[in-house]
Amino acid sequence: VVLTPLRLEAWALSAALAGHGETVRVGYGLRRATAAAERLPRGADRPTAVAGFGGALAPGIAAGDVVVASEVRDGAGSAVPCPSASLVAGELRRAGLSVHVGPILTVDRVVRGAERGRLAASGALAVDMESYPLVRAAQAAGSPVVVIRAIVDTPDRPLARPVTAQASLAAWRSLRRAGRVLVRWAQVAGPRRVLLASPRSFCAGVERAIEIVERALELHGPPVYVRKQIVHNVHVVEDLRQRGAVFVDELDQVPAGATVVFSAHGVAPAVRDDAQRRGLSVIDASCPLVVKVHNEARRFARRGDTVLFIGHPGHEETVGTVGEAPDRMRLVSSVAQAREIEVSGPVSYLMQTTLAVDEATEIADALRERFPSLDGPSSEDICYATTNRQDALRAVAADADVVLVVGSQNSSNSKRLVEVAERSGTPAFLVDDATEIDLGWLRGATTVGLTAGASAPPALVQRVVDNLAGLGPVEVTERQVTEESVRFTLPKEVRGT
């Protein structure tokens, strides 16, 4: 059911809702909405949307943009959360709309002039005159709730003819497109089980790398230059960027004499030499488990082996490790390559730390068949965090209808988690955060497996759970396959701050 104030708003939504739900006009203004809230059927736990026009409070929101409420406030200090806001916002963006997520304030009058700025200072993005009592009543009835407002007036363009007529048309069109998203949202509402894989999310190498940048910022003040993404996660990188880290692709973008942090994925010796030539002050955030593989590469190469490196072409860890002995190392990325590669003399192999265990084992087995005297690392190169996250996901994937992996597209270990779930026969999707969850994936999915790659912050996983809880009651079960207690010491350059 969509609760909407005016006939014009109901008209915008009618085409999308035909055959899928009903539009209930609640009338214009707080008094009518409060009365309508009293009439909402009790105990009707049906997905309820409040949709209509609204006024922007915050700058940067244009007529025709859509604001999705993260919570609805009443102006007297009370607020009702709308937990599935990110899911709806993502879907609206994919539908081509310009979308903002934040608090919406319900007031009892049209907001004009200086009052707009005063209300914006409270952090609310938009105002309306109906949502609060409706949302409160619907939630009390046990209904999942979402609130969207298509913006008509803004701080730059307040209500005034003929501007408002154009703005209303833009808002009306947006509302019409949003109707289809509301239907998709309602279709996936309902109770769910969430199976949380454990361990998941940050590993010791990632925590250390992030702490190194944070401490470097404290010690030296911004800017602190970081070569490549410190870890492969857009949220981590953006957060550090806002705190003063400057991410560069190569050292020639770093001013002479500045401090530069090397990322967790490790660097080739040529990069260290370059930094020294440029007089840069280096703090190395390479994960100690990557450094271990570099050491093995040097050892094998020094004794004259051809070193076959099982890894993904172009990944920074591969580039860095192969750079230890470029003349003696060869990259092998598949079983087919392992069967074809021609090598003479002594041969050894090493692996990228973030591979899928099953796939890497197959490649190593194929190499052993080809080269019976093949030497290998003293202990497995695939790191404890990669192995644990894959084992944990295997423990939930088979029982889930769909698996969500929180992580970025360039995160190797996150992508491997998707593959692990798919190998268990469960469809799996990699998302940077809740906004990237396609509502279609949740259709018919009453059990959702959830994990996160080693570079994804734990808070993002919690936000996914919160958003799923905005679709209906959620029962969360954690399946833990092992405990992790690994910690790495910080480099001396940032220790003791």
Would you say 91 or 284 has its CB closer to ligand SF4? 284
> Residue 469 phi/psi, 5° resolution?
-65, -20
How, if at all, do strands 99-106 and 23-25 pair?
A: unpaired
CB of 478 to ligand SF4, least distance (A): 21
Q: What angle do CA 380, 200, 408 make, to 5 degrees?
A: 90
Give the long-range contacts of residues 23-28, CB within 8 A, separation 24 or more: 26/130, 26/134, 28/129, 28/130
429, β-bridge pairs: 404
Q: What angle do CA 460, 80, 18 make, to 5 degrees?
A: 90
Candidates 341, 345, 292, 342; CA nearest to 321 is: 292
Question: Running DSSP on this structure, what letter comes out for residue 487?
Answer: -
> Chain-centre distance of CA 66, in angstroms?
21
| Interacting residues of 5 by C-beta distance below 8 A, sequence separation 6+ | 25, 26, 27, 28, 29, 32, 33, 52, 53, 129, 130
CB of 351 to ligand SF4, least distance (A): 11
Chain position carrying tokens 């701050």: 497
Task: Report the amino acid identity of residue 301.
Answer: A
CB of 97 to ligand SF4, least distance (A): 37
Would you say 203 or 245 has its CB closer to ligand SF4? 203
Q: What angle do CA 124, 126, 129 make, to 5 degrees?
A: 110
CB of 462 to ligand SF4, least distance (A): 20
Candidates 364, 287, 352; CA nearest to 322 is: 352
Q: Which token pair is 50?
A: 């409040």
Would you say 55 or 407 has its CB closer to ligand SF4? 407
CB of 318 to ligand SF4, least distance (A): 13
> Chain-centre distance of CA 67, in angstroms?
20
Chain position carrying tokens 């739900």: 21
Would you say 87 or 236 has its CB closer to ligand SF4? 236
Binding site for ligand SF4 (CB under 6 A): 203-206, 264, 287, 289-290, 353-354, 383, 385-386, 413, 454
Q: Which token pair is 148?
A: 């969207």
Which listed residue (91, 317, 324, 436) is catalytic?
317
- Strands (E) across 274-401 are located at 281-284, 306-310, 329-332, 347-351
Active site residue 317: yes
Would you say 4 or 412 has its CB closer to ligand SF4? 412
For residues 180 and 148, the answer to whether their CB atoms sit within 8 Å is no
Would you say 84 or 233 has its CB closer to ligand SF4? 233
State which residue has the least CB distance to ligand SF4.
Answer: 205
CB of 455 to ligand SF4, least distance (A): 7
H or E segment and range at residue 460: helix 458-469
CB of 150 to ligand SF4, least distance (A): 43
CB of 305 to ligand SF4, least distance (A): 23
For residues 192 and 446, the answer to whether their CB atoms sit within 8 Å is yes
Would you say 360 or 385 has its CB closer to ligand SF4? 385
Three-state DSSP at 316 gives helix
Would you say 352 or 424 has its CB closer to ligand SF4? 352
Which sequence positions are flagged as catalytic? 317
